Amino acid sequence: MSEYSLAISNLMGGDPAENVQSIKRAVIDNIRSSDESVRIESTEYFNHTFAPDLVLRWDGSKEERQVFLRTSTNPQYLREDIEVISERKPILMPLAPLRDQGNISELGRESANARTLVADPDSLNTFSADRRERPVLGLLSRAVLQGGKGLVDQIRARSTSDAVGLGFAGAQRAEVDQTRGAVEAAESLLDSSHADQFTRLLHAVWLGSGASPASFPGATDVRPDLDAEGLKLLLEIAVAEDEEFWQRIGSGVSLAQLCEIEIPASSANLQRLVRANLDRFKAKSCRVSSALAESEYGSEPRWFTHSGILGYTTNRYRALFSVGAISTMDFMEEIEDGRVDLPELLDRATEAGVAISELAIESAAGGQIEYTAPPLGLSTEVILEDLRSALGRRSSVRSTVISLGPTRHIKCDLTKRAATGRTVAKIYLSEFMQSAIPLLRNLRRSEIREIFRLIEELPDVSLRLRGEIDDDAAE
């Protein structure tokens, strides 16, 4: 017998107010076991016709669901309740199994039409019973609380959970029947917006398997992109180690969408998604600091997202990427002044194979020298070497511009250890990493090799590394 059932059994006798509170606590615990992210407000009412007993809310969402507890298990009485409060699209929660089986089918039909969910606490808990083994059921549990409709008992909850779990696994293998079963189960139980969320998730996994969009066994107008909740769930489930799977997922996701969710550096799937899409994800700005990675990750570079920022952290430095201006990263950590003398900057550029097109240099006397590479004529390398010889270490480079081609450039502000595309331009992560990071911070050759290794693994040859590093060279 469940905790709330025990509470109900004690309803006759004792302090009535305490019995009510005991029932509410037990129901709240059951709902929280179904969705740990839900915030639950208990009202002063109980079994009231118009006033809810509980109100469910979720952080970062406008979703709200009112819960009306019912001591009656008569389906006819519940049908009357639906007529009165259905415009709120509530959850009616009888505290015991329904009796009078003859009216149950009418109750199920009317509640589904009214987008009202009729379910006892144990049936809700059934949705998430296996979510540790099948995490997709965690999303199903939340979707049922937010947008479930119709009559749900434990048998239906179990069958729907099985269909969704099998369908999610089937979509990874492009299996038509199992995927269709999950789509149909979601559409039957959820309102249109939450069913669409599930369908889009299954569609993304289907495409990630390499199957064609036209063969997806569901609606033909499914949007290819994932919302934040679906993407977060996908990253939390170890669905595939295949790089091509994550490339396909990345084709329907932008860096802005990825940065809407919080994913820790411990996520293996985040590492796979970002690595497979360095030549697809674009950022407006990049910043480098000396902050260190968490010790639990050792020296292995890791990706993470936090407060709208994508981070790349190692045991010696951290790079931050934003789809906004440099100032959007100011809250993360204090950045030290990164100005260096001209010879050191040129050494960094040579080491990483970076082409410099502009420089702003501050001399020891306080004057400023601006250099712009000529479009034709004297070699840029010759001019820079002349500047090196003339200024030596009696100079401080404030900013530089990296040439990515005839019309594409990255501007690096060494005083802030930051880089950005010119005007409104966005830059591929691969280009920021390969070009800007080695200029903004003094990297060891092993660290440059690590960046180049990531670029080498990309499928687009045009973004492969520009030069080779001697593995035998001294650090």
- Could you read off the pLDDT tens digit of each residue along the chain, which spans 475 residues? 555 566 566 555 567 788 888 889 889 988 988 888 899 999 999 988 899 999 999 987 888 999 999 988 888 899 999 999 988 899 999 988 887 666 788 899 999 999 999 998 778 878 777 666 677 888 889 899 999 999 998 889 999 999 999 999 899 889 999 999 999 999 999 999 899 888 888 988 898 888 888 889 976 566 666 777 778 888 887 667 778 889 888 888 899 999 999 999 989 999 999 999 999 999 999 999 887 655 554 557 899 999 999 999 998 899 999 999 999 888 877 778 888 888 888 889 989 999 888 888 887 667 788 888 776 444 566 677 777 676 666 778 899 999 888 888 999 999 999 999 988 889 999 999 999 999 999 999 999 999 999 888 776 544 444 434 443 333 3
Contact 108, 134 (CB under 8 A): no
pLDDT for the residue 239: 66
pTM of the model: 0.76
Instruction: Kindly state the tokens that stand for 417.
Output: 């250890």
Nearest to 32 by CA among 143, 124, 147: 124
CA 471 – CA 449 distance, rounded (Å): 8
